[in-house]
Amino acid sequence: MMTENSERLRLETKKKYALGTFRNGLDRILHSRDTSRSYTLICAILAGTVLLMMLGGRAEGIYAVLQPITNLIWAIGWLALCSGVIFLYGYIPHSWNYYNDFSRAGICNSAREAPLLVSTTQQGNVQSLTFSIKGYPLEKWEENRTTIDSALNITTLSISQGSNNQLFILKAVFGDTSLSQLLPFAKSFMDSAPTKITLGLNAAGVPVGIDFAKIPHWLLAAATGMGKSQLLQLIMHQLKQKGYEIYLADYKGIDFGPDFRQPGHYANNDTDLDNMLDSEVQELNHRRTEFAIHGCVNIEEYKQATGNHLSRIVFVLDETSMILDATGRDKDGKAMIATITNKLLTLGRLGRALSIHLLVCTQRTDTSSVPGSLKAQLDGRICGHTADAQSSIVILDDGSASKLPAVPGRFIVRNGCGTDEIIQAFYYRTT
């Protein structure tokens, strides 16, 4: 019975594939002037050939009676050939092979249907493959990224949702492209845009970064030895170069040099952190008032309206689990944590439009490492290898980080829209 259902579904998929290919060819003809002209020319040549065959000689006797039937057959043949040309225009090489590769690897929905390739584009050595499948959400694609790479012999750069919930776009390079495990950072890698920070390279050798203008608040997580501190230093170095005001909460007190330990901008205990947050909440309220007075929605408009410059601000919490974990705290300590958390939530909730950003970091990936209310404000996620799927779920809401190789500097960058990119972060350490 199971075999019968599988064959039936496979047949339905083949029909869907044939219709989709025909539709793709028709779309090319309708929307491409060159394709339309070539199709018209081919049809005209075929029509001329058919007419010559139909008028090739005078039929007599029984053949004269059969002539109309013969002509009808030739006309049907011409229509079939024209339809075949449409199919060829829409044909995507190796598309059915992809379907079979997915099936063999077990990348299927509950009905045992595998993803079907519906379109492909190429830019340089990066190929964009769009697949269609029902009942196979984006998180399943991410969790099975390594299986997909092996099945298709590709190195996936990113997986994203298409124009609907049944379309998925894989950006990939073909073959096993290994990321370098040590990439020294150089000034030339810095992005010229004031809100963009470069993190590392993907498998195609393309720089990948984050944009505080698009995603204002970020969560950075990685286990001990996976390169979190180096990546944080890289980010802060670029922020400093771009003129950001940096406020740092660092209870360990060993990873950052004097440039980041300026009075009023650095805290290594609860009292100093609470005071620093007070000043930032005051700055936030000041900016809200100023923006309202001048009818501005961001710092660029404010500068144009007033001529006054406002710096972007990034509030960095390193080892958040040390700062916000209430375990073993007395009543006063727990009250202080609640106060600090509420102020952070205020910055997260209102800072977006005021160019005040949060960068929250942790080595622990359990449920108590970052409060859920705070994590909900952090749309952007950067996560290194985790020991198990549950730890990955805490940070990324799926198990994809557990599939990462345990290589220092190897991270998943999630931009808040469900798009993941695997990178090797640049190595940078302050001296």
CA distances 286 to 290, 292, 293, 307, 334, Å, are 6, 10, 11, 17, 29
2-21 pLDDT, tens digit each: 466 667 766 777 777 777 77
Give the N- to C-terminal CA distance of the chain in Å, as an integer: 68
Check residues 207 and 58 and name the one with the higher pLDDT: 207
Q: What's the whole-number mean pLDDT along residues 45-62?
A: 70
Q: Rounded CA gap, 274 and 37, in Å?
A: 71
pLDDT bucket at 266, cuts 50 / 70 / 90:
very high
Q: Spell out the domain ranges in the chain.
A: 2-90, 95-174, 183-427
Percent of the chain with pLDDT over 90: 38
107-118 pLDDT, tens digit each: 998 878 888 888
pLDDT value, residue 278: 96
Q: Rounded CA gap, 60 and 74, in Å?
A: 18
Top mean pLDDT of 179-183, 237-241, 367-371, 389-393 is at 237-241
Q: Rounded to 5 degrees, what are φ and ψ at 136?
A: -140, 85
pLDDT for residue 24 is more than 70: yes
Residue with tokens 């942790």: 362
Question: Which of 172-186, 254-268, 297-311 is predicted with the least confidence, judged by mean pLDDT?
Answer: 172-186
Q: Is 21:92 a contact under the CB 8 Å cutoff?
A: yes
pLDDT value, residue 321: 85
pLDDT value, residue 58: 57
CA distances 34 to 31, 42, 91, 183, 256, Å, are 9, 12, 17, 45, 60
113-156 pLDDT, tens digit each: 888 888 888 887 888 999 988 899 988 998 888 899 989 988 88
Tell me the fold of 95-174: Threonyl-tRNA Synthetase; Chain A, domain 2 (3.30.980)
pLDDT for residue 398 is more than 80: yes
pLDDT bucket at 241, cuts 50 / 70 / 90:
very high
pLDDT for residue 69 is more than 80: no
* Residue 406 identity (one-letter amino acid): A
Check residues 391 and 94 and name the one with the higher pLDDT: 391
**3-state per-residue secondary structure call for 322-390:** HHHCCCCCCHHHHHHHHHHHHHHHHHHHHCHHHCEEEEEEECCCCCCCCCHHHHCCCCEEEEECCCCHH
Question: Which of 26-30, 148-152, 388-392 is predicted with the least confidence, judged by mean pLDDT?
Answer: 26-30
292-329 pLDDT, tens digit each: 999 999 999 999 999 999 999 999 999 898 898 888 88
pLDDT value, residue 99: 86
Look up the CATH number of domain 183-427: 3.40.50.300
pLDDT bucket at 410, cuts 50 / 70 / 90:
very high
Query: Which residues 6+ apart lie within 8 Å of 377 measured at CB?
Result: 217, 345, 348, 349, 358
Name the strand (E) or helix (H) holding 242: none
Q: Rounded CA gap, 239 and 237, in Å?
A: 5
Q: Rounded CA gap, 116 and 368, in Å?
A: 41
Burial pattern 118-146, b for ≥16 Cβ within 10 A else e, equals bbbeeeeebbbbbbbbeebebbebbbbbe
Distance of CA 341 to the CA centre of its chain: 29
